[in-house]
């Protein structure tokens, strides 16, 4: 452990009130801390033992996934038993309860269902119209609909505008459902959805980000479409959907990040998220809001999550550096050290290069004469493997310029400068080290 941190912990020397900081971190009051401890105890003392993490590292990935699903089921069961989710603001939905984040934190493990409440439900809340929300949110609340957010494709991550999955309007008269449909299709291998969490095994629905082709055949860019993946009754895969887990990763073993391809999967027209844009039963497209920012709303779910992740990391770095100034100094010095070594290294390479040019000044005329056929004698370049390395460059300069004096002057100055730079940097490096 860092010596300063260790000393601070051992001597108890600190310039803040630990209890007050604890209340602040828990939400601002002693009551909040009491509640957090109560919820933690509920998880730690659960008689089923399913929340025990002690053998996590010994489990196979599939076992961890199955165990985590069992944790999810037990967590919801416990919450319902003690009335978590019945608060007025939660409206019967466990994940909307103010206690839910504390419980998730207390698990000290990931749940494969996480993307359901982190991305899928927020997506419905922000991009679906009121009628759609009133239909879908109760299904999400009861865990009959478990969803994921499927934006990224094998060939398209950051470049969202290049997404290839299509959602083509299909009118009722041409075989679509009553009121019209969309056909969700993955036209190429690069259009395969790749990475979405909860997709591989857990979800039965995906919010798929796809290019909307309206009734006039016009490409309206990317929009959100709710696509059923697996049966809500028995979890079997639905026709036209190919999906699975992308396999082991360096971290996040519990999460079933997955892939999916769609072979002309037909969905109801109203499965398009229609708060900001809509398509009527004739295939006519209408954008409901005019501001430019609205075009970005189609992928706002992903942006929100990524911004939060960066924000959390920034806070951790800032707080650590603020609380433990000597550690910050160590990091800065270490970085400076690396910069100096890098500078010395590159200066040294330059110096060698310039020295070759310098020697070239003396050897050049001989080479020049030989190359131009005026002398057929033996040349040092050809029998020295190191000098031979720079021969073509120097030879080219000689043959092209033939400005022997200028070149000599240039080579001498550059060599002198780079030697001086190397010496200065080395002295600075030694001074920093001491």
Contacts with ligand FAD by CB under 6 A lie at 115, 119, 149-152, 157-158, 195-197, 252, 257
Q: Minimum Å distance from CB 254 to ligand FAD?
A: 11
Least distance (Å) from ligand FAD to the CB of residue 403?
42
Q: CB-wise, 243 or 257, nearer to ligand FAD? A: 257
Pick the closer one to ligand FAD by CB: 85 or 197.
Answer: 197
- Closest to ligand FAD by CB, 252 vs 312, is 252
209 DSSP β-pair partners: 224
DSSP calls for 266-294: EEEGGGB--SSEEE-TT--EEES--SGGG
Which residue number, 259 or 356, has a Cβ lying nearer to ligand FAD?
A: 259
Q: Cα–Cα–Cα angle for 110, 111, 116, nearest 5°?
A: 125
Cα distance between residue 67 and residue 47, in whole Å: 16
Looking at the Cβ atoms of 68 and 411, the one nearer to ligand FAD is 68
CB of 299 to ligand FAD, least distance (A): 9
> Which residue number is nearest to ligand FAD in terms of Cβ?
157
By beta-carbon proximity to ligand FAD, the closer residue of 122 and 157 is: 157
Q: How far is the CB of 342 from ligand FAD (least distance, A)?
A: 22
> Residue 209 or 213: which CB sits closer to ligand FAD?
209
CA 63 – CA 55 distance, rounded (Å): 11
CB of 251 to ligand FAD, least distance (A): 8
Q: How far is the CB of 273 from ligand FAD (least distance, A)?
A: 15
Q: What is the largest CA-CA distance in the chain?
A: 100
Task: For the CB of residue 129, give the shortest distance to ligand FAD in the complex, in Å.
Answer: 23
Give the nearest distance from C-beta 142 to ligand FAD in angstroms.
22
Nearest distance from residue 119's CB to ligand FAD, in Å? 6
Q: Which residues touch 372 (CB under 8 Å, ≥6 apart)?
A: 399
The position carrying tokens 């806070």 is 315
User: b/e for 376-401, b at 16 or more Cβ within 10 A?
Assistant: eeebebeeeeebeebbeebbebbeee
Q: Give CA–CA dist 264/185, Å, rounded.
A: 5
Comparing CB distances to ligand FAD, the nearer of 166 and 415 is 166
**In the block, residue with structure tokens 């001597």:** 11
For ligand FAD, the closer CB: 251 or 385? 251
* End-to-end Cα, the chain, rounded Å: 24
Pairing of strands 181-185, 166-170: antiparallel
For the chain, the C-alpha Rg in angstroms (whole number) is 33
CB of 156 to ligand FAD, least distance (A): 7
Between 115 and 226, whose beta carbon lies closer to ligand FAD? 115
Q: To the nearest whole angstrom, how small is the minimum distance from the Cβ of residue 346 to ligand FAD?
A: 24
CA dist., res. 353 & res. 414, Å (int): 9
Contacts 24+ apart (CB under 8 A), 90-98: 91/141, 92/141, 93/137, 93/140, 93/141, 94/141, 95/121
Which is closer to ligand FAD, CB of 57 or CB of 250? 250
Distance CA 84, CA 4 (A): 42
CA distance 299 to 160: 8
DSSP 192-237: SEE--TTTTTT-SEEEEEEEEE-TTS-EEEEEEEEEE-B-TTT-PB
């Amino acid at each position: 452990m860092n010596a300063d941190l260790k000393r601070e912990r051992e001597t108890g020397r600190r310039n803040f009130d630990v209890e007050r900081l604890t209340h602040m971190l828990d939400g601002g009051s002693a009551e909040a801390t009491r509640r957090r401890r109560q919820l933690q105890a509920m998880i730690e003392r659960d008689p089923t033992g399913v929340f025990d993490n002690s053998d996590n590292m010994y489990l196979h990935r599939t076992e961890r996934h199955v165990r985590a699903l069992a944790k999810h089921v037990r967590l919801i069961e416990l919450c319902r038993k003690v009335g978590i989710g019945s608060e007025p603001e939660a409206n019967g939905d466990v994940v909307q309860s103010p206690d839910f984040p504390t419980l998730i934190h207390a698990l000290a493990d990931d749940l494969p269902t996480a993307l359901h409440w982190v991305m899928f439900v927020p997506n419905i809340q922000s991009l679906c119209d009121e009628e759609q929300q009133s239909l879908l949110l109760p299904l999400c609340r009861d865990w009959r609909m478990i969803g994921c957010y499927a934006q990224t494709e094998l060939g398209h991550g950051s470049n969202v505008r290049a997404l290839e999955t299509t959602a083509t309007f299909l009118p009722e008269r041409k075989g679509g459902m009553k009121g019209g449909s969309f056909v969700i299709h993955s036209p190429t291998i690069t259009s395969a959805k790749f990475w979405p969490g909860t997709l591989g095994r857990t979800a039965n629905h995906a919010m798929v980000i796809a290019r909307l082709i309206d009734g006039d055949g016009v490409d309206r860019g990317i929009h959100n479409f709710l696509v059923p993946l697996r049966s809500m009754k028995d979890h079997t895969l639905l026709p036209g959907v190919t999906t699975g887990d992308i396999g082991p990763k360096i971290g996040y073993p519990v999460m079933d990040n997955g892939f999916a391809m769609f072979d002309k999967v037909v969905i109801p027209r109203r499965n398009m998220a229609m708060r900001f844009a809509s398509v009527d039963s004739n295939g006519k497209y209408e954008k409901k809001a005019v501001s430019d920012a609205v075009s970005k709303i189609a992928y706002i779910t992903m942006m929100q999550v990524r911004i939060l992740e960066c924000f959390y990391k920034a806070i951790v770095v800032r707080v650590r550096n603020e609380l433990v100034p000597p550690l910050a100094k160590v990091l800065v010095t270490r970085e400076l050290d690396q910069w100096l070594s890098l500078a010395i290294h590159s200066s040294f390479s330059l110096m060698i290069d310039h020295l070759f040019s310098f020697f070239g000044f003396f050897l050049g005329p001989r080479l020049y004469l030989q190359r131009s056929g005026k002398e057929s004698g033996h040349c040092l370049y050809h029998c020295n493997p190191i000098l031979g390395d720079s021969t073509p460059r120097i030879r080219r300069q000689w043959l092209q310029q033939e400005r022997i004096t200028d070149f000599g002057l240039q080579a001498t100055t550059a060599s002198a400068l780079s030697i001086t730079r190397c010496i200065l940097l080395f002295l600075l490096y030694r001074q920093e080290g001491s």
